[in-house]
């Protein structure tokens, strides 16, 4: 008995994987903020880690990181994408207006993972 197969730091999945799960739930044409995801995970104070998790997602097509912005609705992470304006292009492609890295009608396209779930 007491056979520990894994140490499981805190949960089955790592913090990163959890962020990906929520990010994948973001509907088309919607955006959310890092803090919103962090809160949904129960780590409201780890909003930064959410962004970091996205950084590790480099290469994962399942994680629409382009739909995640900061609380101001600014594409803070666009610099981490390939092109210079790839993130903006992706958002506009979904019907989200983006001007100068700032999402227009941010309150309308905002999607709260906690509220919707």
Provide the binding-site residues for DNA, judged by CB under 7 A.
Answer: 9, 14-16, 33-36, 38, 43, 45-52, 54-55, 57-58, 65, 68, 70-72, 76-77, 79-81
Q: CB 36 → DNA: shortest distance, Å?
A: 7
Closest approach, Cβ 103 to DNA, in A, equals 11
What CA–CA distance (Å, rounded) separates 67 from 31?
5
Look at residues 70, 59, 80, 67 and name the one whose alpha carbon lies nearest to residue 24.
67
- Beta carbon of residue 24, minimum distance to DNA (angstroms, whole number): 14
Q: How far is the CB of 23 from DNA (least distance, A)?
A: 9
Q: Which is nearer to DNA, 51 or 113 (CB)?
A: 51
Of the pair 29, 71, the CB lying nearest DNA is at 71
Alpha-carbon distance 40 to 75, whole Å?
Answer: 21
Q: Which is nearer to DNA, 1 or 79 (CB)?
A: 79
Return the closest-CA partner of residue 77 out of 17, 19, 27: 19
Helices marked H in 9-59 — which ranges? 15-25, 34-41, 47-56
Nearer to DNA, 2 or 115 (CB): 115
Residue 109 tokens, joined:
């396209």
For residues 29 and 42, what is the distance between their CA atoms, to the nearest angstrom?
Answer: 25
């Amino acid at each position: 008995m007491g056979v520990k197969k894994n140490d499981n730091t805190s949960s089955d999945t790592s913090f990163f994987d959890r962020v990906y799960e929520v990010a994948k739930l973001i509907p088309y044409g919607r955006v959310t903020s890092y803090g919103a995801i962090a809160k949904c995970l129960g780590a409201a104070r780890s909003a930064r880690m959410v962004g970091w998790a996205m950084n590790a997602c480099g290469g994962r097509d399942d994680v629409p990181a382009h739909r995640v912005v900061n609380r101001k609705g600014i594409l803070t992470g666009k610099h981490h994408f390939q092109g210079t304006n790839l993130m903006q292009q992706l958002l506009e492609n979904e019907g989200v207006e983006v001007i100068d890295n700032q999402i227009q009608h941010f309150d309308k396209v905002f999607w709260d993972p906690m509220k919707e779930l």
